Structure 1
Amino acid sequence: MRALCSFLILLAAPAAAENSRPAAPAYVHADQPAQDVRYPGVMTLDVDATNVAQRILRVRQVIPVAAPGPLTLRYPEWLPGKHAPRGPIASLAGLAIRADGKPVAWRRDPRDVYAFTVDVPQGASSLDVNFDYLSPTETNQGRVSVTPEMLNLQWETVALYPAGHYTRQIRVRPSVTLPAGWQGVAALDGLSRSGDTLRYGETDFETLVDSPMFAGRNYKAWDLGHSVRLNVFADRPGDLAATAAQIEAHRRMVDQTVKLFGSRHYDRYEFLFALSTELGGIGLEHHRSSENALPRTYFTDWANTASMRSLLPHEFVHSWNGKFRRGADLWTPDYRTPMQNSLLWVYEGQTSYWDFVLAARSGLMPKDVVLGEIAAYAANYRLQPGRAWKPLLDTTNDPVTNARRPLAFRTWQRSEDYYNEGALIWLEADMLIREKSGGRKSLDDFARGFFGVRDGDWGTLTYTLDDVAAALNAVAPHDWAAFLKTRVDEIAKPPLGGIEKSGYRLVFKETPNPYQVSNDARSRTTDLSHSVGITVSASGIISNVVWDGPMFREGVTTATRIVAVNGREFNEADFRSTISTAKDGKSPIELLVKEGPRYRTIRLAYSGGLRYPHLERVGSGPTPLDRVLEPLR
């Protein structure tokens, strides 16, 4: 009995002891929230960009200091236009800080890795800061921004800034040294050139970050009117061979945009445009410039590049929508403060609407290509099952949660749909305004009244959802708040009301529309989303699988490779032909697929034929959508 009691006591002993329970340590941020107070002195920032072979940018900064003691220097984290914490801090290397020639130790905040704190020595008037920016050499490291032929210099990647101040209150004098003989363009003032070093006048850090540079050895520029210049940098001189008609289409695009808004929020505007197979693609907006990169064939294969040509109008429109006018929760005083993206369906969505409208009005894109683009958007969102659980509003968080990484099942997960679905919402708003006003008013009137105010103002004027609804109501009375909230905040059907009111209807045919032909050629894929439910490359690699589509139900995932179709080696034309033939319900679709090291055979149960979206006119005569796409006089 005594032995049994001792045994029971031993069993109970661990339960009686209290488990370890740590307490959260106190944490104080390395710096305090930014204040709208001038930082004393003027920084200098000198970038040596001559080592393009190794993609290494060498940076020297001189940062004035007013007093001894702790000072936090920050690397830009939350970046305008990217709507997310994308500052490439992993590419910063070799950081060394000195005062009066003596090393000054720095400490990175482990909870805020963009913050570096130093103790400024007694008597020091400035800090010398040196580091290297190691630009990606391969795409698996990030976007390639430096090649042996050209450079996309984004100042936020090559600068630290003193914390605690609005970035507009920090003054800086920048310079960059380029490889011998290169030309460089940035929308900065006060340029002077000495040899291959370009020096700019004093500006504020916010404007500097908003004024990137493109530079290269093969360069040509065209005046597009309205104080706008097209600056093109190319891999090879022959890529710059634009025809007079091509440049004239770009001039009309600029003219139509200025007519739309009736104002300008720049003194001059620089399109920075790279034509390259090496430099990473980009479309990024700024007040007085934009960063754009497309394939080399933009001019030289004009007939097959139509689907690319909404990029420049998109970025140009952002000078009004996104840079001048911006959602109140998106604007931040510095690059530490997190951005909130709840109004990106205005910022990006309405811009996506205007990009194809302006491309059509100017002739930059043929009308049939634009109609095909609208059809593709509508069909894709009608197909998309992800809207059953994720409202459009939540996709505005995608820049933060996903950062444009590839997705396993995009149609179920959704990805930044505020762009193209947003465009469909604004198409519907335009059609509704035209209907309610008897054709006297349109979304053009909203654009002029909302984005076109304060001509010449390059600042930022913020807005809320209520402001948007009120501005729409001033154009055409309606319950716009409910209209927008239903389509943005709630789980809802795809916004196809604009097409229903446009004088067109969405139909499916066996041949791709002109937009899809161009887009497939550009991406080197075949989009079969509306038939077997995949997108596949010329080599048979599947890049997208429609959730609950025919191929999904066969257990297929992205990165699966189709090796053979009905016993013959895969090629896109034969695969399309096989899908079409299977409409009779008797002809098989047998696929040999490779998934990693494994092969298996799929007998695909599908007999719906090829299906591609098109917009088909309803009735005769000009339609409301035709009027939208007509040039302004």
Structure 2
Amino acid sequence: MTQSSVAQPCTTPHYTLAIDSVSDHTFAVSVCVPARSKPVTTLTLPAWIPGSYMIRDFARHIIKINAVRESGEAVPLEKCDKQTWQYHCPNQTVIINYTVFAFDLSVRSAYINDQYAFCNGTSVFLQIQGLENAPLTLSVDKPPTAAWQIHTSMPQDDNPTPAEQRLQTASPNNGHTPGQWHYCCESYAELIDHPLFIGIAQSQCFTVDGIEFEVLFSGDAPVDIERICQDLKPICQHHLSLFEKPYPIERYVFMTLLSDTGFGGLEHRSSTALLYPRFDLPLPNEHSTRPDGYITFLSLCSHELFHTWNVKRIRPQVLIQPDLQREVFTEQLWIYEGFTSFYDDLTLARTGLISADKYLEIVGQNLTRLLHGGGRHVQSAAASSFDAWTRFYKQDASSVNHIVSYYTKGGIIAMGLDLLIRRQSDNQYSLDTVMKHLWNDYGKDEQGTPDDVIATLCKDKLNIDVGDYLDRVVYGTEDVDLSQWLDDIGVCLQYRTKLNSADKGGTNVGNNGHPHLLGATVKTAPMGVAVVQVNTDTPASEAGLHINDVLLAVDNFVVNENLLQRLLNTTTQAQIRLTVVRDGRLLELSLPVREASLQACYFTIEDRQKLQHWLGLDQ
């Protein structure tokens, strides 16, 4: 410690983060709390992360924690509840040292493996009560190997003060690494809104309308990053053009954790954390069209980037300064996730990354998914938003019968609203107009939206009354009747029966006869099929099939997924006999044979010129 660093006191909070152990999957964290006149200082760790509405109790991953004065003398630290600590040491700088276990491969938490370390601030950075809005700094210890580099959207601090650097001498990580990266934030809320990636990665940057975008993929898997960047450029341009200048970002990072089968995305103010299967992405020198897995990735990127405006700036009043210690309830997630779900795929069609036909296939699949669940007649989209903390984020196998997704139905509501507005305004306005007003009136200054914001905005700004529509499909449980407007865009909605439980809809498979309904979702088992879901008021529920049953045979013939549906479709009996294993017991059940309902949706194009005009492809 130099004499100059001793002379300068710690005047603002300073954090230090280090990879403590790769094999043990641990971070070492230190927080320098400046001297305060208050007799008691309280520190907390968030219980949830914005954008993912579920209590996750991140503090359970803190393995050990202690407090010391700058001299190294211990300060008693009292744990008050599952995520809160206090100490009594007025008018003195105190350093909190703790270790965090990081082995949750998701976009929500923290994870360390042999290739990289990743974390969200909500998982690792304690909040100092009373200093939430104070500026702060962060230093990240550089790992011993130069191959591990840091990537984040957090603003760099190019001139760290001696007081910031001094914390190394009081931290157990002192001398662990040859140097540090330094960052600065205006508040704790900003600190936890920039995920950090430290490790081996492929990255490439491109610029759109003056904004720098960085695309990052963890590890060293073969990925055609140049092609992906080229495909992301029009998506970024679309979103920037929709909301217009001034833009709320100067730099943005698409941070993707590659895995074998994982999937996820979480928005942040200037970045997104993504989790995606590595071999669903294009390989170098792979000259092919865009397969479904890659289209889904581009849609995911589109979705999370759109959140830069619609969630991170335009957001419900209750989420402007949310209490991260407990649930914060809102009925508006159908707007924020639903509208964003509408625009993610629509953007791909508008920019020509997918054809109009492919876009309609995706919408048809979304409608099929929505019609599959009886819960849409039980729970409204507004109630689904409010109950996200428990019923949506903590689904069980029977949730399909009791809840509706504010993502899926919200996206269809948004499409219907766009068509309604266009019809009522003679194509003068659209949902784009609504989004621009939301941004100008609520997003730029982050005012926070009231529950009735869409109805009020449409009435006041567009002179269009959408109240009845929203009452029926948002606050009520009616299906969105798109058919009344589809002629305006030159398409027709068609229905057919599903081939089997894996049939996603979206396309016309031709004449599939008159299949019979099972009413359960199944998956392949070592022998027979396992029952994953049972829909209410269907033959499966009437037969007494239970979730986790293993359906071995139909009329004494051992089945797989395909044969099960074939035997069901071709029977001429009024019922068939099922042989089932339930919890180690062998059962015989009778399944009534009933004609399947029309639950698979697809579109036919009646006037391609109208469709091209709606998508903006004729300009």
TM tier relative to shorter chain: 0.7 to 0.9
Determine which of 312, 325, 332 is the counterpart of 2:321.
332
Matched, 1:296 2:278: yes
Q: 1:255-290 CA deviation, whole Å, 9 max, x = no partner?
A: 222222223221111111122127x53311111111
Partner of 2:429: 441
Determine which of 386, 399, 411 is the counterpart of 1:397.
386
- Alignment-mate amino acid for residue 358 of structure 1: T
TM-superposed CA distance for 1:435, in Å, is 0.8
In 2, the alpha carbon distance for the partners of 1:573 and 1:224 equals 49
- Alignment-mate amino acid for residue 119 of structure 2: L
In 1, the alpha carbon distance for the partners of 2:80 and 2:516 equals 50
Q: Structure 1 stretch 74-83 or stretch 396-405: which is displaced more?
A: 396-405
Partner of 1:4: none
TM-superposed CA distance for 1:187, in Å, is 0.6
Matched, 1:356 2:356: no
Q: Say whether the 8 Å CA contact 1:183–1:219 is kept in structure 2.
A: no
Partner of 1:37: none
Which runs of structure 2 are paired with 1:165-564 in the superposition (5 Å)? 165=131, 167-178=132-143, 180=145, 181-190=147-156, 197-223=180-206, 225-226=208-209, 227-238=211-222, 240-242=223-225, 244=227, 246-263=228-245, 264-277=247-260, 281-300=263-282, 302-305=290-293, 306-332=295-321, 335-336=324-325, 338-402=327-391, 404-414=393-403, 417-451=405-439, 460-474=446-460, 476-490=462-476, 492-497=477-482, 501=486, 503-509=491-497, 516=504, 531-539=517-525, 540-564=529-553
TM-superposed CA distance for 1:543, in Å, is 2.6
In 2, the alpha carbon distance for the partners of 1:216 and 1:373 equals 36
TM-superposed CA distance for 1:427, in Å, is 0.9
Which runs of structure 2 are paired with 1:615-630 in the superposition (5 Å)? 615-617=602-604, 619-623=606-610, 626-630=612-616
Partner of 2:55: 85
Gapped regions of structure 2 (runs ≥ 5): 1-9, 161-176, 284-289, 508-514
User: Secondary structure of the residue that 1:421 maps to in structure 2?
Assistant: helix
User: Secondary structure of the residue that 2:522 maps to in structure 1?
Assistant: strand
In 1, the alpha carbon distance for the partners of 2:359 and 2:568 equals 27
**Using a 3 Å threshold, how does the CA distance of structure 1 residues 382 and 123 change in structure 2: closer, same or farther?**
closer
Partner of 1:57: 27
Q: 1:19-62 CA deviation, whole Å, 9 max, x = no partner?
A: xxxxxxxxxxxxxxxxxxxxx93222111125233221111111
Q: Say whether the 8 Å CA contact 2:125–2:192 is kept in structure 1.
A: no
**Using a 3 Å threshold, how does the CA distance of structure 1 residues 480 and 408 change in structure 2: closer, same or farther?**
same
Partner of 1:3: none
In 1, the alpha carbon distance for the partners of 2:550 and 2:109 equals 26
**Using a 3 Å threshold, how does the CA distance of structure 1 residues 107 and 50 change in structure 2: closer, same or farther?**
closer
Q: Say whether the 8 Å CA contact 1:424–1:496 is kept in structure 2.
A: no
**Under a length normalisation based on structure 2, what TM-score does the superposition of the two structures give?**
0.82
User: Secondary structure of the residue that 1:168 maps to in structure 2?
Assistant: coil
Which runs of structure 2 are paired with 1:144-159 in the superposition (5 Å)? 145-159=111-125
**Using a 3 Å threshold, how does the CA distance of structure 1 residues 499 and 182 change in structure 2: closer, same or farther?**
farther
**Using a 3 Å threshold, how does the CA distance of structure 1 residues 346 and 441 change in structure 2: closer, same or farther?**
same
**Using a 3 Å threshold, how does the CA distance of structure 1 residues 123 and 442 change in structure 2: closer, same or farther?**
closer
TM-superposed CA distance for 1:146, in Å, is 2.8
Q: Say whether the 8 Å CA contact 2:65–2:97 is kept in structure 1.
A: yes
In 2, the alpha carbon distance for the partners of 1:479 and 1:439 equals 15
Matched, 1:608 2:560: no
**Using a 3 Å threshold, how does the CA distance of structure 1 residues 513 and 602 change in structure 2: closer, same or farther?**
closer
**Under a length normalisation based on structure 1, what TM-score does the superposition of the two structures give?**
0.80
- Alignment-mate amino acid for residue 283 of structure 1: G
User: Secondary structure of the residue that 1:461 maps to in structure 2?
Assistant: coil
Partner of 2:68: 98
User: Secondary structure of the residue that 2:564 maps to in structure 1?
Assistant: helix
In 2, the alpha carbon distance for the partners of 1:454 and 1:466 equals 13
In 1, the alpha carbon distance for the partners of 2:58 and 2:618 equals 42
**Using a 3 Å threshold, how does the CA distance of structure 1 residues 137 and 346 change in structure 2: closer, same or farther?**
closer
User: Secondary structure of the residue that 2:310 maps to in structure 1?
Assistant: coil
Q: Say whether the 8 Å CA contact 2:257–2:276 is kept in structure 1.
A: yes
TM-superposed CA distance for 1:154, in Å, is 0.6
- Alignment-mate amino acid for residue 199 of structure 1: H
**Using a 3 Å threshold, how does the CA distance of structure 1 residues 471 and 581 change in structure 2: closer, same or farther?**
same
In 2, the alpha carbon distance for the partners of 1:565 and 1:627 equals 51
TM-superposed CA distance for 1:243, in Å, is 6.0
In 1, the alpha carbon distance for the partners of 2:434 and 2:378 equals 32
- Alignment-mate amino acid for residue 397 of structure 2: A
Q: Say whether the 8 Å CA contact 1:50–1:177 is kept in structure 2.
A: no
User: Secondary structure of the residue that 1:373 maps to in structure 2?
Assistant: helix
**Using a 3 Å threshold, how does the CA distance of structure 1 residues 319 and 622 change in structure 2: closer, same or farther?**
same
**Using a 3 Å threshold, how does the CA distance of structure 1 residues 515 and 242 change in structure 2: closer, same or farther?**
farther
TM-superposed CA distance for 1:430, in Å, is 0.5
Which runs of structure 2 are paired with 1:567-586 in the superposition (5 Å)? 567-582=556-571, 585-586=572-573
In 2, the alpha carbon distance for the partners of 1:76 and 1:509 equals 47
TM-superposed CA distance for 1:401, in Å, is 2.0
Partner of 2:582: 595
Q: Say whether the 8 Å CA contact 2:360–2:506 is kept in structure 1.
A: no
**Using a 3 Å threshold, how does the CA distance of structure 1 residues 595 and 371 change in structure 2: closer, same or farther?**
farther
Partner of 1:135: 102
